[in-house]
């Protein structure tokens, strides 16, 4: 089965949507090797991503359609992402009638959680000026407030020549992440498991 994943990111600037799509394609390609059937669609904002997913879900025949967005808040049950999104005051997204929880993947609580989980890649990407002590503790990263994670990443890289910022620089580091370093994140692990099941028999990342 082929898959089409609608991803939050890139904003409304077309020049950023390409790097966003490429970064997620490379990361998921590394996590799911030999899966050429998977297409990443960078949609910009949350609302646009949700609407694009709904449209494709309604029209799709025989294709797996997925939605990948920030959870923004701590998730009570990673296996019930639609309930989480419906409970968020800013979203209150209704689950399309025939959609399932297996179609929704959350970056809990934000994309930066994935980035700070991979300390080795951060060292290689930012170099000796990276202040690792400023990064949030690696334990239970998905329970940490997104603003704390984002602010800590900015602080940790502020003296680096390529200091972290939303946009092009965020995608430059995202595409380099090692999926093995992210398997400690329950939401990431769940996404890889489900996509492996949908596209082919599951193979654990080693």
Question: What is the predicted pLDDT for the residue at 206?
Answer: 52
pLDDT(205) > 70: no
Supply the pTM of this predicted model: 0.94
pLDDT(202) > 80: no
pLDDT in tens, 33-67: 876 678 999 999 999 999 999 999 999 888 999 99
The string of DSSP codes covering 97-141 is TT--GGGEEEESS-HHHHHHH-HHHHHHHHGGG--GGGSPPSTTG
> What interhelical angle do 146-157 and 119-126 show, nearest 10?
40
pLDDT(204) > 80: no
In the chain, % helix, strand, coil (3-state, to 5) comes to 50, 10, 40
pLDDT(203) > 60: no
pLDDT in tens, 106-150: 999 999 999 999 999 999 999 999 999 999 999 999 999 999 999
Across the chain, mean pLDDT equals: 93
Question: What is the predicted pLDDT for the residue at 123?
Answer: 98
Three-state secondary structure along 28-82? Answer: HHHHCCCCCCEEEEECECHHHHHHHHHHHHHHCCCCEEEEEEECCCCCCCCCCHH
pLDDT: is 112 or 204 the higher one? Answer: 112
């Amino acid at each position: 089965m082929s898959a089409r994943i609608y991803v939050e990111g890139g904003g409304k600037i077309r020049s950023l949507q390409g790097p966003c799509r490429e970064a997620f394609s490379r990361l998921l390609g590394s996590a799911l090797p030999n899966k050429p059937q998977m297409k990443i669609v960078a949609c910009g904002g949350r609302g646009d991503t949700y609407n694009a997913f709904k449209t494709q879900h309604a029209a799709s025949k025989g294709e797996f359609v997925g939605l990948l967005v920030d959870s923004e808040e701590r998730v009570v049950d990673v296996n019930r992402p639609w309930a989480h999104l419906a409970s968020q005051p800013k979203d209150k997204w209704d689950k399309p009638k025939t959609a399932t929880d297996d179609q929704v993947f959350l970056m809990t609580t934000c994309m930066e959680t994935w980035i700070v989980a991979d300390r080795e890649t951060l060292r290689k990407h930012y170099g000796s000026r990276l202040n690792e002590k400023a990064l949030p503790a690696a334990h239970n990263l998905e329970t940490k407030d997104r603003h704390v994670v984002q602010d800590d990443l900015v602080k940790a890289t502020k003296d680096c020549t390529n200091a972290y910022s939303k946009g092009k620089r965020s995608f430059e580091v995202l595409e380099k992440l090692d999926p093995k370093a992210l398997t400690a994140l329950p939401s990431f692990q769940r996404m890889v498991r489900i996509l492996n099941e949908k596209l082919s028999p599951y193979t654990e990342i080693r």
